[in-house]
Amino acid sequence: MLSDEALAGRVIMVTGGTAGLGLSMAGRFLELGASVSVCGRDTERLEAALATLREGPTASAQSARGDRVHGAPCDVRDFDAVDAWVAEAAERLGTPDGLVNNAAGNFLAATEDLSPNAFDAVVRIVLHGTFHATLAAGRRMIEADGGAIVNIVTGYAETGSAFVVPSAAGKGGVLALTRSLAVEWAAYGIRVNAIAPGPFPTEGAWRRLFATPELEREALARVPSGRFGEHRELADLAAFLLCDASAYITGDCIAIDGGRTLASGGEFNSLVGRPREEVKEAFAAIRRRT
């Protein structure tokens, strides 16, 4: 569906782009001709990600690709840090005309056991972080007369879900932000869309949310398509929403989950039928493993 030059000349920023789905999307954008800047809090992981993105079959190929790769350590909860990252990327690669808000935080917990700090930590990464990157990049897109923003949400941004209340609240806010700005910023030539992925195996999410074989089997059983997603599938959807082929699409939220949300609603709602102490012990076991 996408030509090899579908994103040629684009400058795309990816938050949480140093691992997992963020890194997979950044790599695919490079393959399609874009220049890419990623950010993450962990400096060591950032350097490893940049090395991966610069990889090529020859030294000259690596050098050419390296000219289109940028990254900086950044905590998306800090607007000044985000703005500095975007400014540095703009100076190095050019004015950003694409942004993927992928940075997130999540864990399983009974809400009555949450501390205010735990709730705040997740919401500040998910909702505040998305707003910070959107504002920093969006102001530059307004000056440049256009751009495209893709926010990574989740199926339960619409439905809510038990045991992930901070994430559900944050992602619900991101979805509202998506739809609000799609209308407000259309006058500037900026499109804003969201993607709601189902279960895509990644080291971080799997360790925090599906750390036991039983939880993984239950997650798979709720997917009508009978399989988990592949990173390339999500990356291609994000690339489509960033390129000119989707020029008339804005304010939408596209599910890519094998039908899971339609079939099951809130991702972890099935756990409410179990004894609560059993559920809490399972969450504790996950925390001990991570």
pLDDT tens-digit readout, 6-31: 999 999 999 999 999 999 999 999 99
- pLDDT, residue 162, reads 93
HEC readout, 246-259: HCCCCCCEEEECCC
- The mean pLDDT value for 140-153 works out to 98
Question: CA of 23: how far to CAs of 77, 231, 264, 267, in Å?
Answer: 20, 10, 29, 24
Structural domains for the chain? 13-289 (3.40.50.720)
Q: How far apart are CA 6 and CA 239, in angstroms?
A: 8
- The mean pLDDT value for 43-68 works out to 86
Q: Is the pLDDT score of 243 beyond 80? A: yes
Write the pLDDT tens digit of every residue in 56-96: 766 666 777 889 999 999 999 999 999 999 999 999 999 99
Q: How far apart are CA 86 and CA 89, in angstroms?
A: 5
- pLDDT, residue 281, reads 84
pTM for this structure? 0.90
Do 151 and 254 contact (CB within 8 A), yes or no? Answer: no
Q: Is the pLDDT score of 247 beyond 80? A: yes
**Alpha helices in 185-275, H assignment, sequence order:** 203-209, 213-221, 231-242, 260-264
Instruction: Indicate the helix (H) or strand (E) that contains 37.
Output: strand 35-40
- pLDDT, residue 279, reads 81
Instruction: Assess whether 156 carries a catalytic annotation.
Output: yes
* Confidence class for position 286, pLDDT limits 50, 70, 90: confident
74 Rama sector, left if φ>0, alpha if ψ -120 to 50, beta otherwise: beta
- Residue of 29, 85, 107, 156 marked active site: 156
> Between these two residues, 282 and 175, which has the higher pLDDT value?
175
